[in-house]
Amino acid sequence: MSEHDTSKSPSAFRTAEPDYRWQGVECRPYKEDDRALFKAVTRQVLFSDQNLAGELRYFEVAPGGFSTLERHAHVHGVMIFRGAGHCLVGDEVRAVGERDLVSIPPMTWHQFRATGASPLGFLCLVDAVRDRPQLPTADDLAALEADPAIAAFLRGAPAPAG
Ligand code: MN
C-alpha cells in the first residue's frame, strides 16, 4: 500500500492544532436538528468508529451562546474542557469550569450556556446509536421556569456562583 493511498484507515495519531482544533477533524456548526433552538455552537467528532459503542465529541459554545435545551433516553458523560459557563441538569443550575464533570441522566432536561466572556468547550461522550432528542413543550418550559434559578438561567442571566 502506497503512503498516499487515501483508502487506508485514518492515522492513529491526530495532532492538536491551535484554538481547540484537531488534525483531520472537521469543525462544523452544530445543527443536528432543524427544530432545535441553539446559538453559536460548533461540533467536532473526535472519536467515532464502528468498533466503538460510543462517540466522543468536542462542542464549543461562543460567549453568549447556548446548546439546545433537550432531553432523551441516552445519557451524556461531559467534561468541561475550555473556559466556563453554566449548566442546567434536571432542576439544578450550576456554574461549571475546566475539568468539571457533568453526568446527564436519561430523560433529564439539560443545557449548556457560555455565560462569561470566554467560550465554553466541553467533551461529550455519547452512545453511537441513540434516540432523537425531545424538545420542551410550552408546558414543559412553564414548569422549568417556575423555578427562579432555572428561569434566570434560561434568560441567560444565571445567579453568580456562590
Ligand atoms: Mn443532549
28-78: per-residue pLDDT in tens?
988 656 667 778 899 999 999 999 999 999 999 999 999 999 999 999 999
124 is catalytic: yes
Q: What is the pLDDT of residue 8?
A: 58
Q: What is the pLDDT of residue 157?
A: 87
Query: How many angstroms does the Cα of residue 4 sit away from the middle of ligand 1?
Result: 38
57 vs 157 pLDDT, higher one: 57
Which position among 124, 144, 150, 154 bears the catalytic label?
124
Answer yes or no: is pLDDT of 2 > 50.
Answer: no
Amino acid occupying residue 55: E
pLDDT band at 123 (very low <50, low <70, confident <90, very high): very high
**CA contacts within 13 A on the Cβ side of 96:** 26
Q: What is the pLDDT of residue 162?
A: 45
Q: What is the pLDDT of residue 161?
A: 55
Query: How many angstroms does the Cα of residue 7 sit away from the middle of ligand 1?
Result: 33
Q: What is the pLDDT of residue 32?
A: 59
pLDDT band at 1 (very low <50, low <70, confident <90, very high): very low
Mean predicted confidence (pLDDT) in 105-134: 97
Query: How many angstroms does the Cα of residue 33 sit away from the middle of ligand 1?
Result: 11
Phi, psi (rounded to 5 degrees) for 85: 180, -155
What does pTM read for this prediction? 0.89
Answer yes or no: is pLDDT of 128 > 50.
Answer: yes
Q: What is the pLDDT of residue 59?
A: 97
SS (H, E, C) the chain: CCCCCCCCCCCCCCCEECCCEECCCCCEECCCCCCCCCEEEEEEEEEECCCCCEEEEEEEEEEEEECCCEECCCCEEEEEEECEEEEEECCEEEEEECCCEEEECCCCCEEEECCCCCCEEEEEEEECCCCCCECCCHHHHHHHHCCHHHHHHHCCCCCCCC
Query: How many angstroms does the Cα of residue 133 sit away from the middle of ligand 1?
Result: 7
Answer yes or no: is pLDDT of 6 > 60.
Answer: no
Query: How many angstroms does the Cα of residue 67 sit away from the middle of ligand 1?
Result: 9
Query: How many angstroms does the Cα of residue 44 sit away from the middle of ligand 1?
Result: 15
Query: How many angstroms does the Cα of residue 101 sit away from the middle of ligand 1?
Result: 15
Distant-in-sequence contacts of 102-105, Cβ < 8 A, 24+ apart: 102/76, 102/78, 103/75, 103/76, 103/77, 103/78, 104/75, 104/76, 104/77, 104/78, 105/75
